Chain A
């Protein structure tokens, strides 16, 4: 009874949560929430540039997300307050992206689908891209887990243990760029940050350790993706927002369960 497109959509959601679980945990711990947002907004510019240059969209979003990530690191290193840097770059990139889209002649751009995602239109190639990117990020984070964790707890402590916190921050930034690039099709530029933060925040209420929190975040993200798809199918609601709504429900439930247990 599972149609093929629905199967692909479900697999896309689950593949994405492989990466968004642990990465989202770090985004929450390091207060990078707005950073995820900014990178995602900039990705719209990547979509426009890729379409204009006849390149794969995933490539364009990845490139712009990477440039964005490096620019933010550089500017904040020069003493600009991080929220100012992000505010300038995120909204400028989004605006430039929207302007650039309007210049595209002969290419029909369904802006709605880039802003809100279109998980039901996920192709086999998209699926390979999502699982490839998701697995890459998951492996990267597992590999460097302890180093990332020390750098998150205290940068000087990391230094004293022979770990370069700047390198670890760059690892997370790059991982974030990859996740944004692969997930823009699934949940769209406006809701990617939600998929990073909401499951991780929900997991916090239940977890007693960092590893448990990351794994739980992945599980909650995957469950939200499937529940959101079901919601979308049953009530004919837009898929991306339905997934985020399901994750938000998970956040509320986890909060209540966590309080009852405490």
Chain B
């Protein structure tokens, strides 16, 4: 049984079908990325899977504890909130648990900092730590690396892989940056209101539907990254 699934889901917002007849499933332990151009319904799909948006037709099934990392927090400077307090919202966790979660995501020293003072990367990790404290079987992330530079992005995806390895949690994320995120995924779902194509990163990047959406240019970047992944370091420099 999958942890999370949408079956023939249609979501109608403001009179238009944002998603039509979308079926996807997240299985235990896999990393799945949803890619698609702006306005393709990626965030809508994630929010529908979380139960935030109602479906017009179809069915969403959740069989797992879910940790959620939102796209961003619009933090009001007027709200004084330390990282430690944020981690215990709304479920209280002990100091030791909170410290362990922060150490796990590589930011051990930020517990007493104000949330509003964190950098983009630190905030993403703090939100991931909060999600991990719920001991999730599935972690859902909405554009988790928005605003990070490319090394920061790569480091964040490596962290997700480590978390998956250590906790066994499945990861479902939405992204619009293509090459880095795709090679970190077991499976990629290409979305444009409906599921265009689906499969391993290599299959999707060669699919005509994907190329029609994103052009051929991204293929080169994916190839480069995969070389990098295979430790042919002489190619890696071309990233910058």
Contact = CB atoms under 8 A, between A and B. Distances in A.
B53 to A, nearest CB: 9
B80 interface: yes
B70 A157 contact: yes
A31 B78 CA distance: 10
B59 interface: no
A209 interface: yes
Interface in A190-217: 201, 204, 207-210, 212-213
B79 A154 contact: no
Interface in B55-99: 66, 68, 70, 73-76, 78-82, 85-86, 89-91
Given A147-B90, A149-B90, A210-B85, A160 B52 contact: yes
Interface residues of B, number: 23
B98 to A, nearest CB: 14
Contact of A29 (B50, B78, B86): B78
A208 B73 contact: no
Contacts of B39: none
A163 B91 CA distance: 12
A207 B50 CA distance: 34
Contacts of A161: 89-91
Contact of B82 (A31, A154, A204, A208): A208
Given A153-B79, A153-B81, A209-B85, A163 B90 contact: yes
B47 interface: yes
B68 A29 contact: no
Contact of B68 (A28, A160, A201, A209): A160
A156 B80 contact: no
A204 B47 contact: no
B206 to A, nearest CB: 34
B51 interface: yes
A253 B66 CA distance: 46
A152 B76 CA distance: 9
30 contacts: A29-B78, A146-B89, A146-B90, A149-B90, A150-B89, A152-B79, A153-B73, A153-B81, A153-B89, A154-B74, A156-B47, A156-B52, A156-B68, A156-B70, A157-B68, A157-B70, A159-B50, A160-B50, A160-B68, A161-B89, A161-B90, A204-B80, A207-B80, A208-B80, A209-B80, A209-B85, A210-B80, A210-B81, A210-B85, A212-B80
Given A160-B68, A210-B81, 18 more contacts: A28-B78, A29-B76, A30-B76, A154-B73, A156-B52, A157-B68, A157-B73, A160-B52, A160-B140, A161-B90, A161-B91, A163-B90, A208-B80, A208-B82, A209-B81, A209-B82, A210-B79, A212-B80
Interface of B: 47, 50-52, 66, 68, 70, 73-76, 78-82, 85-86, 89-91, 114, 140
